[in-house]
Structure 1
Amino acid sequence: MARALRPVGLEFIDSAPVRLVFTATARAAPGTVYRALAEDVAAWPRWFRAVALARPTHGGSGREVRLRGGVRMQETIMAADPEQRYAYRVDETNAPGVRALLEEWRLAPAGSGTLVRWTFAADGNTPFRLGLTAGRPGLGLSFRRAVRALDGLLAAQESRPGRQ
């Protein structure tokens, strides 16, 4: 059963009781990575294995996301700064124990590519916080694999005939 979470603002990225921060480098330029994150939401399952479905809602100001394993989320886009940042707050979920959740993807030029930093900011009951902290290595691995897969997908799109 889905439950409403506590609404939080962007400042929650810095003040959340649990903050997991991961980085990876993509060969694609920041603008290309940003478009994949923020504008091609429906393609997330093609590169982020944990995501079974992603679709924009409310005219693009929200998202519906379903993870493999059955977790469902309704989200609000909190920041959409081209080539720099994409952040969203989970407003409703069926995940147990979570009280507040905000994710932020920061993009910065890195040589000829992009440094991608993903911050997972959360609050919840003690078992949720402990589980999230214990799951940090798995979340980090999932994130790094997703960035690699996204990078491969973007490179394949760029090399298709007719693309410039």
Structure 2
Amino acid sequence: MNVLRIVAPGNESMLEQWRHVHNTIIPTHLLSLDDVRDRSRRHHLEVAYLGEALVGCSTVRPPTDESPAATVIARVLADYRGHGIGTTLYTRGLARARELGAEIIETVVLSSNPEGLRFARRQGFVELERYVLPGETTPWIDLRLEPQNQ
């Protein structure tokens, strides 16, 4: 039986695996390894494995002095969706955001990822806005967790 293992990326190889999942799921916003290193200093990143297989990753952007909101993002590779991995990543991210003092929980989904959008809505997120980043063509969707789900 394969066991789900979720860990913070502790070396370059694991940062590269986090990057692989991110770039596979978000091909319109590819990150370099330097980008991921920078994110790992500012955000809480985790990588998920089922047995030895890379299956997903997550990001928690902590609240700041300017905003009491934390952003929680769970990403699961297509072949591993529908088995509770996203829920586990999201639950861990939500707990981490709360540990960091978040008063509001948000997430962001690429509009070309309808499965991710359905997942966020099932968790209780509601859409705030859609926007296109400079140089991109695919809209992003910002969502906020409804207060009764926080």
> What TM-score, normalized by structure 1, do the two folds share?
0.31
More strand by share: 1
